[in-house]
Structure 1
Amino acid sequence: MEKGNLQRWFKKEGDSVSSGDVIAEIETDKAVVELESLDDGVLHTIVVPDNSKDVPVGSIIALLKEEGDDDQDVLKLLNNASDTKNSPSAEVSKESQNISLEKDTALDHQVSINNSERIKISPLAKKLSEINKVSLNGMVGSGPGGRIVKSDVLSQIDKVPNNTIAHSHQDISSSTVSPMRMAIASRLTESKTTIPHFYLSVDCSVDDLVKYKKQIKEQSQKNITINDFVVKAVAMSVAQYPDVNSYWQKDQIIKNSQVDVAVAVAIEDGLITPIVKNCDSKTITAVSAEIKSLAEKAKNKSLKPEEFQGGSVTVSNLGMYGIKEFFAIINPPQSAIISVGAAYKIPCFNENDHIVPKQIMNISLSCDHRVVDGVLASMFLQSIKNYLENPMLIVI
């Protein structure tokens, strides 16, 4: 994660804050998390306001004034944070040295516009303009001496319309990309361009699995899905072939100590892969219940980082959309991802050479060839097939 969105503040400037208090809500590329204060003090200055987009990780979003600090301590901190490698030096005017930063006029910051004109701007206003990509060219400041202050930048942000581009005979509108979509784009581009993928595919006969699933529902009222059986079969196969449970890292192969299966869940504006930990040692009913719980949390954006980071392998299922076969992109740092297609009927010859209907389901495997070779991948895929065609082995 490189950027995030600051959705809202739960505290306002001047409020007392205790260690552990929830002070803000941050949207990461995977979930919405609460930001807790690490110290006691007073929330002196909010640098990044509500609904700020694409705030870089490591940015100062607020200043907490602790006991013993004075306004000059806070002023110095914000001054140092505002200076960048290529920015001009900041100068503090004598008449404003004792003014609180809360008024946004404590510091005159000289900013170069078009390498010719220089304007005065407070550090807070400058920080807001950088984060929100607001041009200072031609902006008239309302502060003392014509300096640009926080309210001037916020007013300009409100005036910026959604970008539209005239193209041919129609208007094509552009939209802001969410942190999750940016993370997906970055990770999958990295995966596809740096990991040597290779692919295998096998058809599984699932007549017995469909019958067994139906029996469970009739006898126990528990809705165990085909995907639940696939996840459990994958976990048992990973345990059977532990070399699959590894990943490439800086010319080394790192082996995972437990079998954690990630399950792809489609949510608004993206995809997330919550993890069923120690999946090989759990019953099929426990696996099913955990997948449902994680999927619900994923859709509510309430997953904790440890619930979606890492994992041994990933299972991605598009069978519910009628897709018969596809090959997914590996989810780094994992070395394999299983793609599950739809179950459908085909005519087949039985042992007596009679044509009978049979339900089959395609299982595809994408592997990192640096870690998993063809023979190992083939045996791993055959193991999954064997469990799915003999579902009683999964519940023993």
Structure 2
Amino acid sequence: MAIENITMPQLGESVTEGTIEKWLVKPGDHVNKYDPLAEVNTDKVTAEVPSSFTGTIKELKAEEGDTLSVGDLVCTIETEGAGGGEAVEEAKPAAGEEANKSPVAGSQNEMELSGTQGSAKPAAQKGAKGRYSPAVLRLAQEHEIDLNQVEGSGRDGRITRKDLQQLIDSGSIPKEGTAPAASQPASEPEAGAQGTPQPAPKSAERKEAPPAEAAPGDKEIPVTGVRRAIAANMLKSKQEAPHAWTMVEVDVTNLVQYRDSLKKEFKEREGFNLTYFAFFVKAISQALKEFPMMNSMWAGDKIIQKKDINISIAVATEDALFVPVIKNADDKSVKGIAREINELAAKVRSGKLTSDEMKGGTFTVNNTGSFGSVQSMGIINYPQAAILQVESIVKRPVILEGGMMAPRDMVNLCLSLDHRVLDGLVCGRFLARVKEILENISKENTSVY
């Protein structure tokens, strides 16, 4: 017999953690390779974690509702095969061995200085603890948590998001310069100037805002893993990307007339609707090809200009928002784009969207006009550089050339941009090109096939 580990997989591009929504197995159950073990929610997709082995479930390492970082242990499986004894030993954390290690004087490989001057800790105590996931680093930064004072519950002492959330909920947040948490051994205090623990001055302490409390008659709604992940991703986008915003209005009277003349015949022939949104996505993907800087991402010391034009579209359910991707949208016809929009939206609402269908987006187009919005500022879908909101088409009186006034179908296009990557000049020219394409759509010069 051998014990094998199942870890949290990466279920989408930029996904760093997932929440165990529901276990599909229990200890003692026999599973085959690729059988689903648990349903997991992330900010991008709801998916099943498959088994990598055939065997018997030994132990579930997380409970329903727990949030785990990518690579964290999910469960263990007992398999049949040679070398079982060695595998069992390898599956167990060598906690005793690590704890008994002592630093060798002068060895930089086995010593690390702590945050307080005059003390040192063996690097063996750190182990995987020092490899923090982006979710842990983000949460620590938001709440000013000194990670050197946190004891991790993950594999090899790794600090998990759950560890930090427990500290935040308890109000016992270790700050830099304060004494170590009570869970650390009393025999290893971090020494101050006189060799005794030195608490931070009261003036340096920052009081955390108390959480909102429900009053009688209020309804409390638990935060799901999907909602928590969406909140974290939106917060990261607003904190890291300096948002700017610009808007143009477009006369789409000819587009409305052209689409309305086709929609009945198209539905009977193709079996799905020809929406205005498909025309907008086609026009935007064409303009992205002409202005490739808009199809870029910030990458710290460089900007990555993406070759493929993959349009992310926002699809909402009653309690969550998903962003599936239309791959190589610039190579597709209006009909092809309309089909993908229809299929992806159906998969989102039926819960059948896969992680592959969420990957690779380079630019986001959001159909806010579908619920009547006429002007809005979207939050950028990190790490992309921009998001374009297509607002509601509204009939308004417009003064035409020559001074004549006539009713026209008008729509606002609202662009949010990451000002680290994009400037007003390229964004203005990009929107002007999208406007030009849309205003010249007509029966005479546009084909949906």
Superposition TM-score tier, normalisation by shorter sequence: 0.7 to 0.9
Match of 2:38 in 1: 24
Give the residue type in structure 2 aligned to 1:65.
Answer: E
**CA 1:81–1:203: 2 relative to 1, 3 Å:** farther
Q: Report the Cα distance in structure 1 between the residues aligned to 2:35 and 2:164, rounded to whole angstroms.
A: 26
Q: Report the Cα distance in structure 1 between the residues aligned to 2:354 and 2:280, rounded to whole angstroms.
A: 24
> SS of the residue aligned with 1:287?
helix
C-alpha contact (below 8 Å) 2:19/2:68 kept by paired residues: yes
Q: CA deviation at 1:227?
A: 1.1
**CA 1:12–1:71: 2 relative to 1, 3 Å:** farther
Q: Report the Cα distance in structure 2 between the residues aligned to 1:166 and 1:327, rounded to whole angstroms.
A: 30
2:273 aligned with 1:223, yes or no?
Answer: yes
What's the CA shift string for 1:70-122, capped at 9, x where partnerless? Answer: 7997588456589999xxxxxxxxxxxxxxxxxxxxxxxxxxxxxxxxxxxxx
**CA 1:165–1:336: 2 relative to 1, 3 Å:** closer
Name which of 53, 63, 73 aligns with 1:60.
73
Q: CA deviation at 1:7?
A: 3.6
2:362 aligned with 1:312, yes or no?
Answer: yes
Match of 2:309 in 1: 259
C-alpha contact (below 8 Å) 2:310/2:326 kept by paired residues: yes
Match of 2:292 in 1: 242
Alignment of 1:116-127 (within 5 A): none
Q: Report the Cα distance in structure 1 between the residues aligned to 2:426 and 2:65, rounded to whole angstroms.
A: 48
Match of 1:125 in 2: none
Q: Report the Cα distance in structure 1 between the residues aligned to 2:52 and 2:71, rounded to whole angstroms.
A: 15
2:388 aligned with 1:338, yes or no?
Answer: yes
Q: Report the Cα distance in structure 2 between the residues aligned to 1:131 and 1:241, rounded to whole angstroms.
A: 43
**CA 1:18–1:81: 2 relative to 1, 3 Å:** farther
Match of 1:359 in 2: 409
Match of 1:93 in 2: none
C-alpha contact (below 8 Å) 1:3/1:179 kept by paired residues: no
Point out where structure 1 has 5 or more consecutive residues left out of the alignment.
Answer: 86-128, 136-163
**CA 1:190–1:223: 2 relative to 1, 3 Å:** same
Alignment of 1:375-394 (within 5 A): 375-392=425-442
Match of 1:209 in 2: 255
What's the CA shift string for 1:274-323, capped at 9, x where partnerless? Answer: 11111011010110010110111112232222211331211112212221
Match of 2:59 in 1: 45
2:229 aligned with 1:183, yes or no?
Answer: yes
What's the CA shift string for 1:48-67, capped at 9, x where partnerless? Answer: 35x34434443333221233
Name which of 194, 198, 207 aligns with 2:244.
198
> SS of the residue aligned with 2:53?
coil
**Range 171-180 or range 305-314, more displaced:** 171-180
Name which of 12, 17, 28 aligns with 1:14.
28
Give the residue type in structure 1 aligned to 2:295.
Answer: N
**CA 1:32–1:184: 2 relative to 1, 3 Å:** closer
Give the residue type in structure 1 aligned to 2:75.
Answer: A
**Range 203-212 or range 337-346, more displaced:** 337-346
**Range 265-274 or range 253-262, more displaced:** 265-274
**CA 1:81–1:29: 2 relative to 1, 3 Å:** farther
**CA 1:344–1:82: 2 relative to 1, 3 Å:** farther
Q: TM-score, normalization: structure 2?
A: 0.64
Match of 2:379 in 1: 329
Q: Report the Cα distance in structure 2 between the residues aligned to 1:55 and 1:246, rounded to whole angstroms.
A: 30
Q: Report the Cα distance in structure 2 between the residues aligned to 1:46 and 1:351, rounded to whole angstroms.
A: 71
> SS of the residue aligned with 2:73?
coil
> SS of the residue aligned with 1:348?
strand
Runs of 4+ in 1 over 6 A off after TM superposition: 69-73, 81-85, 129-133
How many positions carry a matched residue from both structures?
325
Alignment of 1:139-150 (within 5 A): none
Name which of 203, 208, 232 aligns with 2:282.
232
**CA 1:295–1:84: 2 relative to 1, 3 Å:** farther
> SS of the residue aligned with 1:370?
coil
**CA 1:340–1:293: 2 relative to 1, 3 Å:** same
**CA 1:72–1:176: 2 relative to 1, 3 Å:** farther
Point out where structure 2 has 5 or more consecutive residues left out of the alignment.
Answer: 1-14, 100-161, 170-210
State the percentage of identical aligned residues.
31
Q: Report the Cα distance in structure 1 between the residues aligned to 2:245 and 2:164, rounded to whole angstroms.
A: 43
* Larger strand share, 1 or 2: 1
Cα RMSD for the two superposed structures? 3.3
> SS of the residue aligned with 2:433?
helix
Q: CA deviation at 1:166?
A: 6.2
C-alpha contact (below 8 Å) 2:263/2:274 kept by paired residues: yes
**Range 315-324 or range 57-66, more displaced:** 57-66
**CA 1:73–1:220: 2 relative to 1, 3 Å:** closer
Q: CA deviation at 1:165?
A: 7.9
C-alpha contact (below 8 Å) 2:41/2:226 kept by paired residues: no
Q: TM-score, normalization: structure 1?
A: 0.72
Match of 1:301 in 2: 351
What's the CA shift string for 1:189-245, capped at 9, x where partnerless? Answer: 121122122221111011101100011114433631111111111101101111211
Q: Report the Cα distance in structure 2 between the residues aligned to 1:165 and 1:197, rounded to whole angstroms.
A: 28
Give the residue type in structure 1 aligned to 2:439.
Answer: E
